[in-house]
Amino acid sequence: MLAYRHAFHAGNHADVLKHAVLVAVLRHMNLKDKAWRLIDTHAGAGAYDLAHVQARQHAEFEQGITRLWEVPGLPPLLADYVVQVKAVQREGQTTALHESQVEAQASGSLEADRALRFYPGSPVITRALMRPQDQLRLHELHPTDHGLLLKHFAGDRAVQVLHSDGFAGLKAHLPPPSRRGVLLIDPSYELKRDYPATFDAVKDALARFAECVVLVWIPQIADREAQALPQRLARVAQAQGKRGWLHAQLTVAQPNERGFGLLGSSMLVINPPHTLQAQLAQALPVLVQRLGQFAGASYRLDAQTG
């Protein structure tokens, strides 16, 4: 039984890094008219209400998206990401809302444009950046979050919502007929087997479709498998990919008194857009400055172009 619910973490520093990279990659995909397909192996609920008790329990978004909300002069990659989150405030994400909140929004009692209230997950961010020719495949195993996703995308023919294991399910969707594809692998890693499963899934995906742009989110924690995963994936990218890899790591916090905790996270991108490294070189120092929770906050940006 899966215990993890992304609603407790929506909009935190890890989401900021992951979703800013996702937006940049999709912008690049949209430079060509040819259709693309994104496969999200771990989709979550789609969108989140930050006023909900789950999000408010630890208010992780206050150490994440909140810190970028009203900041002028952000580098383009971050500014574009914040624009995507702002767009969600205007539209409202009704599946993430309770009825009373929907009424409040409809009656204009929420300052929808300015206040940060809703946070889009990877499915909603991707949907917003899709053109009519593009496709989205979502996998989510948690029954509640799968139900929320289904409701959110009901009747949307461009989106397929699957109640299935994303690691196993991705095979059916690669390569896409247009041979333009993005694979987002964003596990909660609550199961130890998620590390080898992520590695195997990437290897298999590249064997099927070497040009696939692969995005993997990796937690920065005191765990040998988590620490080894970026290098292991980079080696696979080098051997099986077409355009190298990029690894962006953001460290925002110190370990707790027992030496544990989420210190930050990273995104490993295989076959990255050629502009991504320069965009991240601008954005990461700003993320350190804005999201860092201690004086030693830092970033690393490593890349090998193929």
State the residue number with the nearest CB to ligand SAM: 121
Min. distance of Cβ 231 from ligand SAM in angstroms?
22
Eight-class DSSP state of 255: -
Q: Are 10 and 50 in contact (CB under 8 A)?
A: yes
Min. distance of Cβ 20 from ligand SAM in angstroms?
12
SS3 state at 283? helix
CB nearer to ligand SAM: give 111 or 190.
Answer: 190
Min. distance of Cβ 30 from ligand SAM in angstroms?
19
Catalytic residue numbers, as ranges: 186
Min. distance of Cβ 243 from ligand SAM in angstroms?
24
CB nearer to ligand SAM: give 62 or 281.
Answer: 62
CB nearer to ligand SAM: give 35 or 96.
Answer: 96
Give the pair of three-digit tokens for residue 82: 């914040």
DSSP string, 147-184: HHHHHHTTT-TTEEEE-S-HHHHGGGG-S-TTS-EEEE
Min. distance of Cβ 186 from ligand SAM in angstroms?
4
**∠ Cα 112 118 123 (to 5°):** 130
CB nearer to ligand SAM: give 127 or 243.
Answer: 127
Residues forming the site for ligand SAM (CB under 6 A)? 2, 4, 6, 18, 40-44, 121-122, 139-142, 145, 165-167, 186-188
CA dist 270 and 288 (Å) reads 23
Min. distance of Cβ 141 from ligand SAM in angstroms?
4
CA dist 273 and 177 (Å) reads 20
Eight-class DSSP state of 12: S
Q: Are 225 and 195 in contact (CB under 8 A)?
A: yes
CA dist 300 and 288 (Å) reads 10
SS3 state at 265? strand
Name the residue with tokens 């040998």: 224
CA dist 237 and 207 (Å) reads 10
**Cα Rg of the chain (Å, integer):** 18
CB nearer to ligand SAM: give 35 or 125.
Answer: 125
CB nearer to ligand SAM: give 244 or 264.
Answer: 264
CA dist 39 and 25 (Å) reads 13
